[in-house]
Structure 1
Amino acid sequence: MSRSTRATAKDVARASGVSQTTVSFVLNGAAGHVSEETRERVRQAARDLGYVPNGSAQALRKGASRIVLLNVEGVPTGSGLGSYIKGLDAELAVHQHVLLVLHGHLSSQALSDVAQAVSARAVIDLGDAGRADDIVADAETSLDAFSAQADVPVRYLVDRGHRHLAAVMPDTPELQALAGLRGRLIRQATHAAGLPDCPTLVLPGGLGAAEERLRAFRTDHPDVTAVLAYNDDLALVMLAAMRNMGLRAPGDLAVVGFDDTPHGALFSPALTTVHLDAEAIGRSAARTALGLPAVDTASRPARVIVRESA
């Protein structure tokens, strides 16, 4: 059957039920992380639609470059990302590959276009786990590693007598991929520890609005004695709001952050936080992106950096 318009990668993606990024990589021969079942579904949809890739896509078939793309849209630079990128870049360099880091909001099509333009060997998309599907399983692994081991701070607080914990999450839409995952793992850890349900306090970055949210939360959840914040930045907003309200940490509320950023130690009270081996996570992601076994790149377990706030 003739077509009045040329089929596009978007058409193939819709017909096969995957993202445009996945379509591009499958049809360009750079889909090492995509299951064979998904590859065949994409190829069949392309055949059915009569899809013909453009020139840059055809060039990709001749061999991917030694460039790996990392999209970090929405991931705050103070969240261990610097160490993650250091490890990722160092491991890629060992294997004669170059890391290209992208910032800003990118649609699936835009990310696909960039990948095609540079003939990327792999894409690690930390900006949107929801679109990471088969093609960037290494991104999902990285997000898991950044968010995991929530049981470590939960055990720490339980050992200090806390039974009613809460999670403090940001209200920034760009952070929902990582924040949602971390929040779920915190709730799972509290459940595994036999604690009551873990409520969530969604805290804005502005101090005045944060105080209002915290007041309402304290009224609704008077039993909560400790909170686990999404990251150190949000934990410091929490501590500042508490101070303005006349609350003390850890006497009124114990506060624990994530990521062990340098400024947490400078606050008063100094912030108790969770340290993650982000550099090793980056090295592991690099090897996964290149299809290599994760030899000698396993990250060390998370640990609590004990200071004054909890």
Structure 2
Amino acid sequence: MGASGRVTLNDVAAASGVSRATVSFVLNDDPRQSISGPTRDRVRQAARELGYVPHGVARALREGASRVVVLNIDGGLEGNYSRSYVRGLDAELAAHGHVLLVRHGHQSPEAARQVLDVIAPRAVLRFGEAYVTGHDLEDRGGGWRDGLAAHAALQIRHLAAQGHTEVALALPETETPVVAARLRFAGHAARDADLSVPGHFVAPRERPACTRTVRTFLADAPGVTAIAGYNDDVALRVLAALRDLGREVPRDMAVIGFDDTEYGSLVSPSLTTVHIDAEAHGRLEARLALGMDSRGLTPAPARIVLRESA
């Protein structure tokens, strides 16, 4: 233990039988280093048993406003994009000596104020706000360059290119401003592609309820030949419902997801979806929150992951 009484990297290295550099690589999860799984487990276990606190975290707790960034994620916005975004945001903040605190779900103004009074953060971010508006990419038109509007349009344009002229949107049960934005952006994209404005329905989580909903919707909209899911989770519910209804995908109905979760490739038919470089968006947001130059952090363009369903 160091002279200050704080557990150091040297202590963790001695306890796990590896070098100080190896401990640093493991605890910082450096992707450029090839370190075996057993060694990583041994280092992490030693760190836990010794009560090791990374220097940046300890410093953030001491300095308060200069080192802590708070991210609020409203209920219903969790998903692959949010997980990747948080990973990038956290990594970029950590690279500049800051700590990320993530708060999930709806918070009352009183609870939020208590947190801010105790922590005095460097910045408070609201997840989804920058993505919807595009501000994180200096795109003021609702994210038409590499934000939600552009990605919603990518989903609709893919279906149009496959020859579909009437599409529908499958939405989650949770009502959020992002859902309203998706509907608006999909409508713009459909009109630009000379399609009818998409109809929409909410896809319940429970399979029987979702099957009933899809049956009713398609009975009222017989011209629909493709369904765009709000995210992959919703699209997978629709796939299950169509299977229950005896509809063959993509012959009878095409389905496309959004957010590229790991589950889309595991189902049959596998799910076509939209992949977004959310981690780079998180890193950009970190730079902007810290007032730093964001040059050199250009996200890869969103793309269609072409599989079997559409």
TM-score between both structures, scaled by the size of structure 2: 0.71
Amino acid at match of 2:117: Q
Q: Residue 251 of structure 2 corresponds to which residue in structure 1?
A: 251
Moved over 6 A (4+): none
User: May I ask how many residue pairs the two structures share in their alignment?
Assistant: 239
SS in 2 for 1:307: coil
Say yes or no: does 1:123 pair with 2:124: yes
The structure showing larger relative contact order (alpha-carbon pairs under 8 Å, at least 6 residues apart) is 1
Q: Residue 152 of structure 1 corresponds to which residue in structure 2?
A: 154
Question: What are the Cα deviations for residues 136-180 of structure 1, in whole angstroms up to 9, with x where unaligned?
Answer: x76998x9535642221222111111111111111223xx23222
Question: What are the Cα deviations for residues 269-295 of structure 1, in whole angstroms up to 9, with x where unaligned?
Answer: 111110000100101111121223321
- Give the distance between the partners of 1:225 and 1:178, measured in 2 at CA: 25
Q: Residue 7 of structure 1 corresponds to which residue in structure 2?
A: none
Deviation, 1:75, is: 4.2
Amino acid at match of 2:70: L
Q: Residue 169 of structure 2 corresponds to which residue in structure 1?
A: 167
Deviation, 1:111, is: 1.8
Q: Residue 231 of structure 1 corresponds to which residue in structure 2?
A: 231
**Could you list the runs of 5+ residues in structure 2 that have no partner in the other structure?**
1-62, 130-134
- Give the distance between the partners of 2:157 and 2:238, measured in 1 at CA: 21
Amino acid at match of 2:287: R
- Give the distance between the partners of 1:294 and 1:214, measured in 2 at CA: 44
Q: CA, structure 1 residues 159+241, in 2 after alignment: closer, same or farther (shift >3 Å)?
A: same
Deviation, 1:246, is: 0.4
- Give the distance between the partners of 2:182 and 2:254, measured in 1 at CA: 19
- Give the distance between the partners of 1:301 and 1:166, measured in 2 at CA: 25
Deviation, 1:76, is: 4.9
Say yes or no: does 1:274 pair with 2:274: yes
Question: What are the Cα deviations for residues 61-113 of structure 1, in whole angstroms up to 9, with x where unaligned?
Answer: x9833100011232454332221111101111222211111123212332232
Q: Residue 102 of structure 1 corresponds to which residue in structure 2?
A: 103
Amino acid at match of 1:224: V
Question: What are the Cα deviations for residues 112-149 of structure 1, in whole angstroms up to 9, with x where unaligned?
Answer: 3212210111111228x5xxxxxxx76998x9535642
TM-score between both structures, scaled by the size of structure 1: 0.71
Amino acid at match of 1:254: A
Range moving further from structure 2, 279-288 or 151-160: 151-160
**Could you list the runs of 5+ residues in structure 1 that have no partner in the other structure?**
1-61, 130-136
Question: What are the Cα deviations for residues 1-55 of structure 1, in whole angstroms up to 9, with x where unaligned?
Answer: xxxxxxxxxxxxxxxxxxxxxxxxxxxxxxxxxxxxxxxxxxxxxxxxxxxxxxx
Q: Residue 89 of structure 1 corresponds to which residue in structure 2?
A: 90
- Give the distance between the partners of 1:301 and 1:149, measured in 2 at CA: 9
> Does the CA-based 8 Å contact 1:172-1:204 persist in structure 2?
no
SS in 2 for 1:102: strand
Q: Residue 47 of structure 1 corresponds to which residue in structure 2?
A: none
Deviation, 1:227, is: 1.2
- Give the distance between the partners of 1:146 and 1:117, measured in 2 at CA: 34
1:1-310 matches, cutoff 5 A: 64-126=65-127, 144=143, 145-146=147-148, 148-173=150-175, 176-310=176-310
Q: CA, structure 1 residues 264+120, in 2 after alignment: closer, same or farther (shift >3 Å)?
A: same
Amino acid at match of 1:84: Y
